[in-house]
Amino acid sequence: MLLFVLVFMFYPRLDAVTVLPLILLCTIYLFGYSLSYYLYQGRLSRLWQHLEQVVHINDSTFELVHLSSQYQDEHAFLNALLNKAVSIVDGAEMGSIISVDPETQKLNFESCVGMDLQKLRQVSFTLEQTFEYRLTQGRCDRVVVINDMENVNSGSSLSAENQRLLLTAAQIPIRSTLSSPIHIDGKLYAMLNLDSGLAGAFSDYDRNLVGILTHEASNAISLYQKSQQIRKLASFDPLTGLYNRQRFEDLLEQWPLKSRQDSWLLLLDMDNLKGINDFRGHQQGDEAIRSLTRAMKSQWPEQALLARFGGDEFVALCEGSEQQLEQDIAALRDRLKQDVDYPLEFSVGMARLGPDWQQALKDADAAMYRQKREHKAPKAKHLG
């Protein structure tokens, strides 16, 4: 531009034959410069948008992991993850997460958005029947895009009924799908599918974006699983699956006392675990503990809090009348007789739960030891 200005300044007597080509050249240059600037700004804008979406993905997965304790189970966590994915990718109107059984390679719809989950769960198919498997030659290692779902399904080995279920489960007919594998610890865990009712709804840009998303999702799911394992170890007894003492006492403080129904603390202590360990071995002793656990879970399947305080000591928090609980304890002893082929005995103490739960626990403990002494007395008299 500076060159053109200098030419016009120092050669004021340029004739029309000379000026017109210069003006044309200047116009072409200005047009080319404007077009390249516009394209550059558009590319810069798209890169900035891409960066914002990547940051949004990182923030979303961080939020999922950070708030993982709020989710009741992995299914609820996957629901939250899928909703985030559908909201992040512009072309996505629906979506699903399909888990992969590592042993049988069977697939199961774990979560969906904009589709009938009950209908999808009727579909019976394996990993080899998916287009993700076919288009990656069985590697399932990259994001794939399908722009004609009906033709893809009709060319597969799925039964006609399964194809019908897949095509009718969505609120609107699916024409485009973007599918990305989720790997955890090097193994295929699930596939994230994002769907649209429009043909060609997903671009290479979306493919790259979902690749980043599923990579972050893999980390999020892995961290969620590890956090749940830590939480389980911190709250549950590993041998029995019952609450441990710390978790039980935390829940005990939150237990609502009802005016119409009494709450009771039952403290159980196995009488002959040491003898079982000494004469039958510690493996049989562990099995005896599990037998008592099974009997307690069967006797109080839902309406009680059950915990193992450690060793051979258990506790149950139940509701009902004193007479009903005494009948439950008698039934518990009968269940043990049916479960094992050797004597498995326990002593139990019971105390009504009041505002001071620690006092109730002490009362139940004292009552349990009184019964334990009573159980030992006939044996001592017999030996004498």
- Which of 119-125's residues contact partners 24+ apart within 8 Å by CB, and which partners? 119/165, 119/168, 119/169, 120/96, 120/165, 120/166, 120/169, 122/165, 123/162, 123/165, 123/166, 124/162, 125/158, 125/162
State the CB neighbour count (10 A cutoff) for residue 81: 26
- Vertex 26: Cα angle to 25 and 30 (nearest 5): 120
The distance in angstroms from the start CA to the end CA of the chain is: 119
pLDDT, position 382: 43
Q: Which residues contact 179 (CB under 8 A, 6 or more apart)?
A: 130, 131, 132, 143, 144, 145, 146, 191, 192, 193, 194
**What does the alpha-carbon distance between residue 266 and residue 333 come to, in Å, rounded to a whole number?**
14
Which residue ranges form the domains of the chain, and what is each CATH number? 53-234 (3.30.450.40), 245-383 (3.30.70.270)
Compute the distance between CA of residue 363 and CA of residue 111 in angstroms, rounded to an integer: 48
User: What is the structure's pLDDT at 65?
Assistant: 60
Question: What pLDDT, on the 0 to 100 scale, is given for residue 5?
Answer: 60
Instruction: Give me 85's structure tokens.
Output: 């994915």
pLDDT at residue 41, as a whole number: 73
92 Cβ neighbours under 8 A, 6+ residues apart: 85, 86, 178, 194, 195, 196, 201
The Cα-based distances of 338 to 89, 159, 288, 302, 334 in angstroms read: 58, 47, 13, 22, 6
- DSSP code per residue over 16-57: HHHHHHHHHHHHHHHHHHHHHHHHHHHHHHHHHHHHHHHHHH
Give the separation between CA 86 and CA 193, rounded to whole angstroms: 9
Q: How far is it, in rounded angstroms, from Cα 25 to Cα 31? A: 10
DSSP 228-253: HHHHHHHHB-TTT-SB-HHHHHHHHH
Q: What is the pLDDT of residues 17-66, one digit of tens each?
A: 566 666 677 777 777 777 787 777 767 676 666 666 666 666 666 666 66
Q: What is the pLDDT of residues 320-353, one digit of tens each?
A: 899 999 999 999 999 888 877 788 889 999 999 9
DSSP string, 126-168: BGGGSHHHHHTTT---S-EEES-HHHHHHTSS--HHHHHHHHH
Rg (CA), the chain: 35
Q: For residue 70, give the DSSP letter.
A: G
Instruction: List the structure tokens of 153.
Output: 């399904």
pLDDT the model gives residue 381: 45
In the prediction, which pLDDT does 7 show?
57
Q: Map residue 266 onto helix, strand or coil.
A: strand
C-alpha distance from residue 367 to each of 313, 336, 356 (Å): 14, 22, 17
At residue 337, the pLDDT reads: 86
| CB-based contact 336:295 (threshold 8 Å) | yes
E strand or H helix at 367 = helix 357-383
Cα 13 to Cα 7: distance, rounded to the nearest angstrom: 11
**Model pLDDT, residue 383:** 37
- Note down pLDDT in tens along the chain; length 384 residues: 565 565 556 555 555 556 666 667 777 777 777 778 777 776 767 666 666 666 666 666 666 666 555 677 888 888 888 888 898 888 899 999 999 999 999 999 999 999 999 999 999 999 998 888 988 999 999 999 988 776 665 566 788 888 888 878 988 888 899 999 999 988 999 999 999 999 889 988 888 888 888 887 888 888 888 888 888 888 999 999 999 999 999 988 888 887 678 899 999 999 888 888 888 899 999 999 999 999 999 999 877 899 999 889 999 999 889 999 999 999 999 988 887 778 888 999 999 998 888 999 999 999 999 998 887 765 544 434
Nearby residues of 383 by Cβ (< 8 Å), 6 or more positions away: none
Strand partners, 107: 100
Mean pLDDT of the chain: 83
Exposure of 45 in the CB half-sphere (CA atoms within 13 A)? 6
Give the SS3 label for residue 192. Answer: strand
Supply the pLDDT for residue 361.
Answer: 92
For 342, other C-beta atoms within 10 Å of its C-beta total: 12
